[in-house]
Structure 1
Amino acid sequence: MFKNYIKIAWRNLLKNRQQTIINLLGLTVGTVSCLAILLYVFDQFGYDEHHKEASSIYRVETIIERDGDENFDTGAASPPIAFALKEDFPEVDEATRVVLADVFYSNLIGAAKSKDSYYEPRVYIADSTFFKVFTYNLLEGKLETALNGPNSLVLSSSLAEKLFSGQNALGKAVTWGSGEDAQTLTVTGVFDETYGKSHLNPNYIVSMSTPGMGTFVQNFQDFATNNFVYSYVKLKPNVASYQVQKKLPEFITERGAQDLANAGMDNKVLILKNVTDIHLYSAGRKNQIHEVSNIKYLYFLLTLAFFIQLVACINFINLSTARASKRAKEIGVRKVVGAGKKSLMWQFIGESLLLSLFAMLISIPITILLLPMLNELTQATLTYQNLLNREIAVILIALGITTGFIAGIYPALILSSIKPIRALKSAVILKSGSGGFRKALVVFQFVVSISLVATVIVVTQQFKFAQSKDLGFKKDNLLALRIGTDEASSKFESIKSAFLEIPGVVSVSSGNYAPSEIVLSDNGLYLPGGNRENVKIVKRQGISEGYFETFDIPIVNGRDFTPSDTTDQIIVNQATLRAFKIEEENALSSRLVQSFGDESYEMRIVGVVKDYHFASIKDEIAPLFLHKESSPNWLFLKTETKEYGQLLSGLEQRWNATVKNVPFDYRFVDQEVERLYDEEKRLGQISLVFTILAILISCLGLFGLVSYVAEQKKKEIGIRKVLGASIGSVVQLLTKDFVVLVGIAFLIASPIAYYFMQRWLEDFTYRIDIQWWVFLLAGGFALVITFLTVGFQSLKSAIANPVKSLRTE
C-alpha cells in the first residue's frame, strides 16, 4: 500500500509540473533560509561548554552606582576581588584573572633571534591558575606549570608557527616589547586555539608575575577602582551560584567600604555570570574581553526563519487547493471504488511529505554552495562540517516532515471531503465559502512582508544615521598610525617633521587612544573644597598639541595645548562642565582635583572643546579631560590627497628611515569608526536578504491564490467576455479583492512592526524617530508587488479564449 501511495504521488507530481515546480521552489527557498539561519544560530550557541566543570565557572561582573543610578556596567572587576572571594568563601574552589593588554599598550613580539617582530592582538596576562579553571588543549608544555613563573609565555599554535616556522616552540626565547621596556619571555606552552568555542580568545598568554602590568595587578589592593580585570571563580561541586551571590553585598561592604567612599561610589554590585552564558547574554555590558553575540538578534533570526517556512507552507496550501478541481474526477473514481476518507488524506499528505523531503534534500547542497555568501553576510566561519551536527540533522529532518505535514493537512482535508457524485458531475466543485481561510493566509503573508520591509527601512535608517551623525570631529581623510614602542614614541617630533614634508599631509598629532577604541583610562575628580565623596568619574585621554586641529574639533573656550604646558593643564569637554555644574564662561577660572592615596593635586582648565563622540553613539557622551602625553600610542594624520597609494608609500619610507624594526601599521579612521556599527550593519543586511526571500515566497503564494480565484470564476469570466467585457475590467475583477487584503494586512502589520522596532531602538542613546511614511512605504511596496504578481495571472485569464471555459466538459 505504501509503495502504491509513493508511486501515485510521484506520478501526480510529474503530471502537474508547473504546480510541482512552484511548490518545490517555495519549499526549497524556505528550507534553505531556515537551514542557513539555523547554522548561524547554532554556531553562536555552545560557547565555553567544553571547559571541564563549565557549569561551576563564573565571571565576576560589576555594576557601579552613583547618585542612585547604575552608571557603570562592566564585565570586569577590581584586581583583588577574585582571590579575595577564594579567601573568604569556602564554596570557591579556585580563582583566576585575565588582563587584556591590548587596550593599554601595543607590544611587539618576535623570536629573540629574529629581526622580524609583529603587533599581535589579543594579548592576555593571566594568573598561574588560568589552566586550572579553563580547559585548553596544550600541544607543547604542561598545563599545571605553564604560567607558574615570571616571564612565562604560552602561544597559540598559529602564532608559534608564525614565530618559529614549524620548529618546536617550547623553551624558545621571545622578545616582548621594545627598547628599554623589552622583556625576554620563555615559551612554556603552545595551545590549540581551535579547541572549543570560547569568549576567551587569546593569541598568546603572559604570566601575571611578569614585571609590568601583571605585577601591578598582583599588588593592587583597592576593591573599588581599576575595574579592568576579568575575574573568574570556580565553585566547588554541588555549590549553587545563588549561595555565593547572596553573600556578595556583605563581602564588598566588609572588604571595600572605605575604598568605595574614597572613590565616591554609592554602591558596587558584584554579579556572578556562568561562562556558558557570557557569549549570548552580555550584549550591552561594557568592556567585553571579546566580541559577544546578542540573544535578541538570534531570537529575531529564529522568528524570521519560522515565518519564512510558514509562508512557504501557506503557498503549498494555496496552490494545492487552487488546483483541487483538476483532481476532482480522480477523487470521485477512488471513492466510488471504495477508497475511504482516511486513505485519501494519507495519499495527499504523502504527496506533500514527498515534495517537502525532496526540497529538504536539495536544500543541503544549495546551502553548502551558499556558505561563502552566508559567512560574508554574518561574519561567521561556517563550513560544511556544521551540517554534520547531529542536532542540525535532527532539526532538518523534523523540519521536512513537519513542513510536509502542515502544508498537506489542509488540502488533504478539503480534497478528501469532496462528494463523489459532485466530483464526477463537474470539475468545479470547491465552494467559494472555503476561500475565507485562504484569504486569511494571504493576509498573514502580507503582514509578514510589510513588517519585514518596515524593519529593513528602520534598521537601514538607524545605520545611516550612525554613519552620517555629526560625531564632533571629521573622520574622513584621517589616518591613525600605531606608534607602539617607546623608541618610536621618543622620536615623535622627528616623525612628525618628516611626515609634514610629504605632499598631502596637512597636520600631524598624537594620542593614547584612537577613535573607536574603548577609553578605559579614567580618574575620579572633584571640585576644590570638596572631598572624595563628591568624586565624579571622568574619562582621560593623553594627546599632543595640534590634536584638535587634526580632528577638526572646535575649541569653544580657551586654547589648545602649547609646548610649555604640563599635565597640570587640562582641556575638558562640555559634558565635564555639565557634570560639575560649571558655567562655560567660568570654565577657565575653574580647577579640578585628583587624589592618589593621601596626596591630591589640582589641575587647571585651559580650554573647553565641543562634545565629540570618542566612543560609540550607542553611549551618551561621557565627561572627558585631555592632558599632554609624552608617550602616546597613536599618531594621527590629516590628509588631502586622492593618491593614497603614493602617500602611504611615502609615509612608510619616512617611518622606516626614522624608526627601526617597528612595523608600519596604519588604518583609516573612518573605517575604524564604521566598525563600531558592524552589528547594526549586519542586522540590516540579513534582514534585507531574508525579506527579499520572504517576498519571493509570498509572490508564489499570491500566484497560487489568484490561480484559485481564476479557476473559480472561469465561467463567469467567459460569460463577461462574450457579453463584451474588456480585458481591463476582467483584470480589475480578479485584483480588487487583493487590494482589500493588502489594506487589512497593512493595518495589522504597522502597529506590530512599530512596537518591535521601537523596542530595538531603545538600545541606542542617539536614535532616529520612526516616521509614519515608513509603514506607508512598506504597504505601498506590498501593493506594487501584489499588482505585479496578481496582474500577470489576471491578464493571462482575461485574454484566455472564453469558448474553452464555457463548453460542456
Structure 2
Amino acid sequence: MFRSYLKIAWRNLRNHKFHSFLNIFGLSLGITCFLLIMLYVNDEFSYDRFNQKAERTYRINADVKFGGVEQLVAVAPDPIGPTLKSDYPEVEDYVRFYTKEDSRLIRKGNELINEHRVVHADSTLFNVFTLPVVAGNGTTPLNDAGSVVITASMAKKYFGSVNCVGEILEADGKHYKVTAVIKDIPANAHFNFDFIFPMSEVDYEWGNFLSANFQTYVVLKPGVDYLQFNKKLRQVVEKYIFPQAKDIMQLNSADQLNRGDNRFEFNLFPLTDIHLYSDRQGEMSANSNVQFVYIFLAIAIFILLIACINFMNLSTARSAARVKEVGIRKVLGTDRTSLIYQFLTESTITSMISLLFALLFVILMLPFFNQLASKSISVFNMFNAKLLLTILALPFLIGLGAGCYPAFFMSRFQPIKVLKGMSGALRKSNFRNVLVIFQFATSAILIISTIVVFRQLNFIQTKDVGFDKEQVLIISGSVALNGKEELFKQEVLGINGVKSGTVTGFLPVSTAQRKGWTYWKNATMDLNNGISVESWNVDVDYIKTLGMQIVKGRDFSKEFTSDSGAVIINEAMARSLGYNDPIGQKIYTGAAPDIEELKIIGVVKNFNYESLRKNIGPLCLTLGKNNGLVSFRLSTSQVGTAVRQIESKWRGNIGDAQFNYRFLDEDFNRMYYAERRMGKIAVIFASLAILIACIGLFGLATYIAEQRTKEIGVRKVLGASVGRIIFLLSVDFLRLVIIAVIVAAPISYYFMNKWLGNFAYRSEFPWWVFLVATVLCLSIAFITISFQTIKVARLNPVKSLRA
C-alpha cells in the first residue's frame, strides 16, 4: 500500500511540473532561511560552552551608585578572587584578567608588530577555562614572571611552527620565554586573546578593595547555587570594603554603603550568559543582544510558516484538477483514511525534496551568510545533535503540518457531486484567505521593522553627539614612542593639513579606555556628597581636537600652570553637583590624608562618550599623562597626503614599528555594529519572506484565473474592458493585503517601540512608515498577480468560451 502511495505521489509531482516547481521552490527557500537562522541562533547560544566547567563558572560584577549616578561594571577589585577562594569553601578556583594594556609591540625579525589581543592572567587560568595546550607546560605555564603563553596561529606567525616552546618572544623591549602554545581560542568565546602574559608582571597597587580593574571569574563547586552564594558577597562588603572605605567616606557602619539611594555590591554572573545578556562597562569584547537572537528566531519560524502556508494554499487551490480523481477513487471503494494517507505522503515527499534542495542552498549561501553575520559557522555545525534532529524531523513535520489541511480538504469531496462537476472545490475559502492575510501581515511586519531599524541607524549617524567624529585619525601602539609622544605630536602638527592633536587613550567611544572614580563636593567626604564619575586624563589640546564645546568657563591652557590642579566637567556633572554656576567651585577626590583639591575651570557641553543606548553620565577631565593613543584632526581636503606624511614622521621616530591607524568615525560606527548587522539581515530575510509569499500568491492567481476563464470570456463579449477584468481578478487579493497591513501595524508598532526603548536617544516612529509598508505590499502583490491576470484578461473571448 505504501509503495502505491509513493508511486502516485511521484507521478503527480512529475505530471504537474509547474505546480511542483512552485511548491518545492517555495518550501526550499523557506527551509533554507530557517536553517541559516537556526545555525546563527545555535552559534549565539553556544558561547563559552566549550569550557568544561562552563556551568559552574561565574564572573564577578560590581554595582556602584553614589550621588544618584550608577555604574554597572564587569570588573572587580584585585583581592576579591583570592579572598573568595580562601574564605569560602564553595569556591573551587578563580582567575583574573588584566586588560588595561590594550596592545603590545611584538618583534618579528626587524619589524615591530602592534598586537591588540593581549592580556595578563593568573597562573590559575587553565584551572578555570578549557584552553587545550598543543605544546609545552599544560599545568603551570604562567607561574614565572618572564613567561608567555601564545596561540597556535601566533606561534606559526612569529616562529613558523607550534613547536616553539623555550623560544624567546620580545614584547615592548622585554624578553619572554614561551612556556606553552594553546589552540586558538574558539570564536564563540566572549574573550579572544593571542598573547597571555603572567599577572605577576603587572605594576599595580595590590590589595585595594575600592578600585575595580580586573575581570574576575570564580568556579563554584558542584551543587552550589550561585544565587544563594550571591547573598554571601554582602559579607565581603562588610568585612573588606567597609574597613577601607570608612575613613575615606566618613562611615559609621557597613550598612551605609547600601542605604537609601546608595549601593555598593558584588554579584556573580553566569559565564554562559555574558555574550547575550551583559552590556556593562569593562566588557572584554562587544557582546551581542539576546533580543536580536529572539527576533531572528521569530523571523525563521515565520518564514517557514509562510512557506508551509504556500503549500497549503497551492494544494487546496489545485484541488479542482484532482476532484475527479478523488471521486473515482471513492466510487471504486477507497476510503477517506486512505486518501488522507495518500495526500500526506505526497506532501512529505515534496518536503523531503525541498529539504535536499535547501541543504544545497545552505552550503552555497553559508560563506555569504558568514560574511554578513560576521560568523565562522561551518556546514558541520548542522551535525549538532539538536540541530540535526530538527533537520531530520523537518520534512515529516512540514509534510504533516502543511499537508494536513489539503489532505482533509480534498478527501471530503462527495463522489456524486464531483462526477457531476459540482465540487465547488475552488469556491471562496475563508481559511485560505486567513492564510494569505497571515503571509502578508508577516511580510508587512518585516518591512515596517526594517524601516524602523534603518531610521534609528540614520538617527545615530546624524545626531549631534557633542563632538566632531569626522576626520580624526587615531594612531595606536604609541607605547613604541617610548616617552616621545609629545615630540611626535609637535612634529606632526607641523604637517600641512593637520589641524590639532592630542595624546590620550580616553576617547568618546565605548571601545576606548575608561576609569571610574569618585568625587566629593566637600573636603570632608561622605556618602551624601559623593558622586560616581568617569574621570579621564587628557592634555591641553584634547577638547579642541575632538571638536567639543566649552559652554562655561574656559579650556585647559599651557599659559596657566595652575591647570594641573584644575578640572573641566560636563553638564551632567554640573547638574549632579547642584551648582548654578560651577566655575571656580572646588571638588575633592583621593583618600585621606592625600586628599586632592581640584578647581572647576570649565564646563564642556554634554557629549555621548558611550553608545546612544545609555544616558550621558557625569564626566571629569583632568590634565594628566595617558599614552594609550595619539589622535590628530585632519583637513578634509588633504587626508591621504597627511596620513602618508604622518607615517613618515612615525618611521623617523621609531623606524621598525608598524604604523597602525584608524579613524574615530570607524570606532563610532563599530559601537552600532550589531544594529547594522541586524538591519542587513532583516532586509535580506524580509525580501525572501515576501518572495515566498509572492510565489504562493502567483500560484493562487494562476488557478483562480484558470477557473474563471469562461466568466472572463462572457464579460468581454458583454463589453468589459481589459482594465475592468484585471480589477475584478485582483481586487480580492488586494483587499486581503490591506487587511494584512492593518493587522501588522499594531503588532509591529508594539515590538519596534519596545526595541527602540533600548536606546536612551531614539528616533520617532512616524505614521508614514505604515503607509510605505501598505504601498509596498500592495505594489508587490499587484505586480505578482498581474502577470497572470493580464494574460487571461487579454485572451480572445472565443477561446475563453471554448475552454
Separation in 1 of the partners of 2:82 and 2:611? 33
1:343-390: CA deviation from partner (whole Å, max 9, x where unpaired): 211221112111111111011121111112101211111222223334
Pair 1:718 & 2:713 matched: yes
Cα distance in 2 for residues equivalent to 1:37 and 1:121: 31
Q: CA deviation at 1:480?
A: 0.8
Task: Report the CA distance shift for 1:716/1:473 in structure 2 as closer, same or farther (over 3 A).
Answer: same
| 1:294–1:326 Cα change, 3 Å | same
Question: Quick check: 1:490–1:631 contact (8 Å CA) kept in 2?
Answer: no
Q: Residue in 1 aligned with 2:189?
A: 198
The equivalent residue for 1:670 is: 665
Structure 2 counterpart SS, 1:97: strand
Post-superposition offset of 1:536: 0.8
Q: Which residue of 2 aligns with 1:573?
A: 570
Residue in 1 that maps onto 2:287:
292
**Which one of the candidate residues 224, 234, 238 is aligned to 1:239?**
224
C-alpha distance in structure 1 between counterparts of 2:325 and 2:438, whole Å: 32
SS at match of 1:23: helix
Alignment-derived partner of residue 510 in structure 1: 503
Counterpart amino acid of 1:491?
A: K
**2:253 equivalent in structure 1:** none
TM-score under structure 2 normalisation?
A: 0.94
Q: What is the CA–CA distance in structure 1 between the aligned matches of 2:482 and 2:540, rounded to whole Å?
A: 15
CA distance in 2: counterparts of 1:247 and 1:528, whole angstroms? 34
State which drifts further: 727-736 or 235-244. 235-244
Specify the code of the residue in structure 2 equivalent to 1:507.
Answer: S
Other structure's SS at 1:615 match: coil
Deviations 1:617-647 (A, max 9, x none): 2221222122223342222111124454433
Secondary structure of the structure 1 residue equivalent to 2:175: strand
**Which residue is equivalent to 1:788?**
783
The one-letter amino acid of 1:505's match is V
Question: In structure 2, how many angstroms separate the alpha carbons of the residues matched to 1:193 and 1:174?
Answer: 18
CA distance in 2, matches of 1:598, 1:125: 32
3-state SS of paired residue (2:154)? helix
From 490, 493, 510, the equivalent of 1:497 is 490
1:296-344, Cα deviation, whole Å (9 max, x unpaired): 2111111100000100111111111111111122222222222221121
Deviations 1:695-725 (A, max 9, x none): 1111112223333433453433332222222
Paired letter, 2:132? N
CA distance in structure 1 between the aligned counterparts of 2:202 and 2:516, rounded to whole angstroms:
23
Deviation at 1:254, TM superposition (A): 2.9
Q: What's the counterpart of residue 248 of structure 1?
A: 233
How is 1:150-549 mapped onto 2 (pairs within 5 angstroms)? 150-166=145-161, 168-178=163-173, 183-194=174-185, 197-213=188-204, 216=205, 219-222=206-209, 225-259=210-244, 262=248, 266-282=262-278, 284-426=279-421, 429-430=424-425, 432=427, 435-485=429-479, 488=481, 490-516=483-509, 517-533=511-527, 534-549=529-544
Q: Give yes or no for contact 1:735–1:787 (8 Å, CA) kept in 2.
A: yes
Assess if the C-alpha contact under 8 Å between 1:511 and 1:543 holds in 2: yes
Q: Which amino acid aligns with 1:365?
A: L
> Following the alignment from structure 1 to structure 2, what is the Cα–Cα distance between the partners of residues 372 and 184?
40
Query: Where do residues 67-78 of structure 1 align in structure 2 (5 Å cutoff)?
Result: 71-78=70-77
8 Å contact from structure 2 (residues 319, 426) kept in 1: no
1:561-710 matches, within 5 Å, as: 561-563=556-558, 564-565=560-561, 566-583=563-580, 586-642=581-637, 644-710=639-705
Does the Cα contact within 8 Å between 2:607 and 2:616 map onto a contact in 1?
Answer: yes
Moved more, 4-13 or 166-175: 166-175
Aligned to 2:553: 558
Between 153-162 and 193-202, the greater mean CA deviation after superposition: 193-202
**Larger displacement relative to structure 2 (334-343 or 235-244):** 235-244
Q: Distance in 1 between matches of 2:531 and 2:66?
A: 9
- Name the SS of the counterpart of 1:588 in structure 2: coil
Question: What residue ranges of structure 2 are gaps of 5+ in the alignment?
Answer: 250-255
Secondary structure of the corresponding residue to residue 276 of structure 2: coil
Give me the whole-angstrom Cα distance separating, in 1, the residues matched to 2:85 and 2:461.
46
Q: Normalising by structure 1, what TM-score?
A: 0.93
The farther-off stretch of 240-249 and 746-755 is 240-249
| 8 Å contact from structure 1 (residues 321, 708) kept in 2 | no
Q: Do 1:329 and 1:427's aligned partners in 2 also have CA atoms closer than 8 Å?
A: no
Counterparts of 2:523 and 2:539, CA distance in 1 = 30
Cα separation, 1, equivalents of 2:264 and 2:436: 54
After TM superposition, give the deviation of residue 417 of structure 1 in Å: 1.1
1:202-231 deviation digits (Å, cap 9, x = unpaired): 211111111424xx4xx2232xx3223111
CA distance in 1, matches of 2:185, 2:86: 34
Structure 2 residue identity aligned to 1:574: E
Residues 121 and 710 of structure 1: is their aligned pair in 2 closer, same or farther, counting only changes over 3 Å?
same
> In the alignment, residue 496 of structure 1 is paired with which amino acid?
K
Q: Go from structure 1 to structure 2 and tell me whether the alpha carbon gap of 1:194 and 1:257 turns closer, same or farther (over 3 Å shift).
A: closer
Q: 1:14 to 1:551 in 2, by over 3 A?
A: same
- 1:151–1:209 contact (8 Å) kept in structure 2: no
Task: Give the deviation of 1:479 after TM superposition.
Answer: 0.6
Change (3 A) 1:430 1:167: closer
Q: What's the CA shift for 1:243?
A: 3.5
Match of 1:690, SS?
helix
Which secondary structure state, in structure 2, belongs to the residue aligned with residue 767 of structure 1?
coil
- Whether the 8 Å contact between 1:588 and 1:605 is mirrored in structure 2 is yes
1:4 aligns to what? 4
Displacement of 1:520 in angstroms is 1.8
SS, match of residue 247 in structure 1:
helix
Partners of 1:461 and 1:196 in 2: CA distance:
31
SS at match of 2:459: helix
Higher mean C-alpha displacement, 754-763 vs 634-643: 634-643
Q: Distance in 2 between matches of 1:629 and 1:324?
A: 80
For residues 724-753 of structure 1, what are the alpha-carbon distances to aligned partners after superposition, in whole Å with 9 as ceiling and x for unaligned?
222222222122223332232222111110
Say if 1:455 and 1:481 are closer, same or farther in 2 by CA, change over 3 A.
same
| Counterpart in the other structure of 2:46 | 46
Structure 1: how far apart are the matches of 2:545 and 2:218? 45
Shift of 1:70: 7.7
Q: Distance in 2 between matches of 1:530 and 1:696?
A: 69
Residues 97-141 of structure 1: per-residue CA shift (max 9 Å, x gap): 1122345xx332336xx4332221232211121111222111122
Q: Which one-letter code corresponds to 1:494 in the other structure?
A: L
2: distance between equivalents of 1:389 and 1:691? Answer: 27
Q: Is the 8 A contact 2:95 2:125 kept in 1?
A: yes
CA RMSD of aligned residues (A): 2.2
CA distance in 1, matches of 2:722, 2:694: 22
Given residue 228 of structure 1, which amino acid in structure 2 is its aligned partner? N
CA contact (8 A) 1:101 1:123 kept: no
Equivalent pair of 1:438/1:705 in contact (CA under 8 Å): no
Q: Distance in 1 between matches of 2:227 and 2:540?
A: 52
State the 4+ residue runs in structure 1 displaced beyond 6 angstroms. Answer: none
Within 2, Cα distance between the matches of 1:543 and 1:314?
Answer: 61
Q: CA deviation at 1:278?
A: 2.1
Q: Is the 8 A contact 1:137 1:195 kept in 2?
A: no
8 Å CA contact 2:310, 2:695 repeated in 1: yes
Q: Retained in 2: the 8 A contact 1:489–1:632? A: no
Q: Secondary structure at the match of 1:209?
A: helix
The aligned amino acid for 1:110 is: R
Tell me how far apart the structure 2 counterparts of residues 543 and 529 of structure 1 sit (CA, whole Å). Answer: 24
Partner Cα separation in structure 1 for residue 502 and residue 66 of structure 2: 35
Q: Tell me if the contact between 2:44 and 2:188 (Cα under 8 Å) persists in the aligned partners.
A: no
Correspondence for 1:58: 58
Q: Does the Cα contact within 8 Å between 1:101 and 1:122 map onto a contact in 2?
A: no
Q: Rate the CA distance shift 1:56–1:70 in 2: closer, same or farther, 3 A.
A: farther
Once residues 33 and 211 of structure 1 are traced to their aligned partners in structure 2, the CA distance between those partners, rounded to angstroms, is 49
For the Cα contact (< 8 Å) 2:133–2:183, is it kept in 1?
yes
